Amino acid sequence: MAKRIITISREFGSGGRFIGEEVAKQLGIKYYDKDIIAQIAEQSGFSAEYIEEKAELSPKKGLLAYAFAGRDITGKSVEDMVYEAQRKVILEIAEKESCVIIGRNADFILKDKDNVLNVFIHGDMPEKVARICKLYNVTEEEAEKMMADIDKRRMTNYRFYTDQKWGMAKNYTLSLNSSELGYDLCEKIIMDCKK
């Protein structure tokens, strides 16, 4: 089988992670999500908890916080070092084997490689809120706050490191509304997209 790399970017609550995990299972290929964090920790020397907070999300204060972050003598902030370690890990993983990679700007990091299918999963508000309430055991109001915060921080991180706008169709090979299409059909379409 030719190598297949599938990156899944997603709105919080859209089920993108679940869909990616199912696709990996059904294709019998590796699934990378939280496990990437341990590898980034090893590469960078930072703790896994610290990386979980920093690697995909912007600082809470948004884009300007990147500009004013403390920098070492090479001009790199801690965020930059974490990002650089993340980039190396993702390139190594994609070199090695077929896999599904969730988030972490993998679409951009791998955009010039062959056999990479970049997918964006988004959804409608009521379904996303209901999913978050169930998964995190929170109220609707809390779910809406979590969603707004996390999507905004993913968006800012993406914007800062890729110079692209998060969620624009043209960054991805394929974008799917999981609320309208359902998870099963999303999985089928992704698997049908052998490039």
* Contacts to a copy of itself by CB under 8 A: 11, 120, 122, 167-170, 172-177, 180-181, 185, 188-189, 192-193, 195
CA distances from 88 to 36, 95, 110, 111, 170 (A): 11, 11, 11, 14, 24
Tell the smallest beta-carbon distance from residue 179 to a copy of itself (Å). Answer: 9
Nearer to a copy of itself, 89 or 190 (CB): 190
Q: What angle do CA 157, 163, 167 make, to 5 degrees?
A: 70
Residue 144 C-beta: closest distance to a copy of itself, Å: 16
Long-range contact list for 2-5, CB < 8 A, 24+ apart?
2/115, 2/194, 3/97, 3/98, 3/115, 4/29, 4/98, 4/115, 4/117, 4/194, 5/94, 5/98, 5/99, 5/101, 5/110, 5/113, 5/115, 5/116, 5/117
In angstroms, give the least distance from the CB of 117 to a copy of itself: 8
Q: Which is nearer to a copy of itself, 137 or 194 (CB)?
A: 194
CB of 114 to a copy of itself, least distance (A): 11
**Distances, alpha carbon 154 to alpha carbons 55, 68, 170, 192, in Å:** 10, 18, 18, 28
Place of tokens 């707004």: 148
Nearer to a copy of itself, 2 or 67 (CB): 2
CB of 9 to a copy of itself, least distance (A): 9
CB closer to a copy of itself out of 55 and 121: 121
DSSP 64: H
